[in-house]
Amino acid sequence: MQGKSGFNKYYPPDYDGEKHKSLNAYRGKHALGDRARKLDKGILITRFELPFNIWCGTCNNHIGMGVRYNAEKKKIGAYYSTPIYSFRCKCHLCDGWFEIQTDPKNTRYVVVSGARQKDEEWDPEENGGFAIHDPDANAGPADPLAALEKSTTAQNYVNKVQIPRLESLQEVSERCNSDPYALSSLLRKRFRAEKKIDTAKRAADDQLKGRYGLPETLQLAAEDDEFMSAAREQWERGRREHEAQTSIRKARLQSCAISSTSSSRGRDPLASLKARLLSNTHQSRTLKPPDGLR
């Protein structure tokens, strides 16, 4: 306990660090001593220096700027988050008290009671100079070149980005909203045409279903070009396969017939008749594409 803060301080034998925590607590005193005697009222005694010349309101003596007092400092309010302090001082020439407060709004001190402030603020305008706090709203920017650059950039942005964008948006808007009647009639015309096609197709489908006794709910394939070409291709493939098979069979039959005729030329009319019949059958089987797919 004393190891850290024990220099130049007397610790009585009955002092217990655990119990008393600090020497001030052991002695029953505040760390600020006598200056904290009114701390329970929120008052701290501080050294305060007069920020300007005043006349004491009680003894009417002039008290110069810079005279120091033991003032009672007290927080009396706040300007936004800045506390407002009051300093209550006792005149050193009489027993009168005067009070000075801080004024955060105007960053200054004001005499509240018990004294008069000597009005001696320097006003440059009265003395032929310029006002310090010139409330001129039309004052130019601090750096004219920077301002010019900034305004040029802004102008370029307006010309190159904002105006074209606005124009294109306006164009779109005009195209969409300029003639609602024409747009509506165009739309309805298109709709009517599509409806007509749909109706015709449905009628044709119904007819087809009626003819072949197909169920009403059956979906018929659409007769578009893609579907037609696919169907034609499929048909062509089927025909090629069929032709290949037929030619194989025909070759086999012919070889059989040749062998039979060579072995018994003119002697077996039944075999030759059979071969001729088969050959005819093959010719009649050669398929032709249906009219719809030609």
Cα-Cα-Cα-Cα dihedral sign, residues 86, 49, 89, 70: positive
- 58 versus 254: smaller Cβ distance to Zn ion: 58
- 15 versus 55: smaller Cβ distance to Zn ion: 55
Question: Whole-number minimum distance, CB 70 to Zn ion, in Å?
Answer: 15
Question: Whole-number minimum distance, CB 87 to Zn ion, in Å?
Answer: 16
- 65 versus 203: smaller Cβ distance to Zn ion: 65
Q: What is the DSSP string of 20-56?
A: H-SHHHHHT--TTGGGGTTGGGTEEEEEEE-SS-EEE
Residue 57 interacting with Zn ion (CB under 5 A):
no
Q: How far apart are CA 121 and CA 109, in angstroms?
A: 13
Question: Whole-number minimum distance, CB 89 to Zn ion, in Å?
Answer: 10
Q: How far apart are CA 70 and CA 39, in angstroms?
A: 15
As separate numbers, helices (DSSP H) first and strands (DSSP E) second, the chain gives: 8, 8
User: What CA–CA distances, in Å, run from 275 to 145, 237, 255?
Assistant: 111, 29, 10
Q: Which of 51, 54, 57 is nearest to 94 (CA)?
A: 57
Q: How far apart are CA 205 and CA 8, in angstroms?
A: 115
Residue span binding Zn ion (CB under 5 A) among the ranges 56-64, 171-179, 191-199, 284-292: 56-64
Structure tokens that stand for 40 in this block = 């329970």
Characterise 63 by phi-psi region: left (phi > 0), alpha (psi -120 to 50), beta (else): beta
Residue 53 interacting with Zn ion (CB under 5 A):
no
Residue 63 interacting with Zn ion (CB under 5 A):
no
Among positions 65-94, residues that touch Zn ion (CB under 5 A) are 91, 93-94
Q: How far apart are CA 159 and CA 292, in angstroms?
A: 64
Find the distance separating the first CA and the last CA of the chain, reported in whole Å: 113
Question: Whole-number minimum distance, CB 113 to Zn ion, in Å?
Answer: 13
- Site track 94-123 with Zn ion (rule: CB under 5 A), x = hit: x-x---------------------------
- 58 versus 261: smaller Cβ distance to Zn ion: 58
- 116 versus 250: smaller Cβ distance to Zn ion: 116
Question: Whole-number minimum distance, CB 92 to Zn ion, in Å?
Answer: 8
- 57 versus 104: smaller Cβ distance to Zn ion: 57
Question: Whole-number minimum distance, CB 69 to Zn ion, in Å?
Answer: 11
Question: Whole-number minimum distance, CB 56 to Zn ion, in Å?
Answer: 3
- 15 versus 97: smaller Cβ distance to Zn ion: 97
Binds Zn ion by CB under 5 A, chosen from 58, 117, 254, 261: 58
Q: Are 45 and 71 in contact (CB under 8 A)?
A: yes
Close Cβ partners of 19 (under 8 Å, ≥ 6 residues apart): none
- 59 versus 163: smaller Cβ distance to Zn ion: 59
Binds Zn ion by CB under 5 A, chosen from 59, 158, 186, 214: 59
Question: Whole-number minimum distance, CB 20 to Zn ion, in Å?
Answer: 44
Kindly determine how many residues on this chain lie close enough to bind Zn ion according to the rule CB under 5 A: 7
Residues lying near Zn ion in the complex (CB under 5 A): 56, 58-59, 91, 93-94, 96
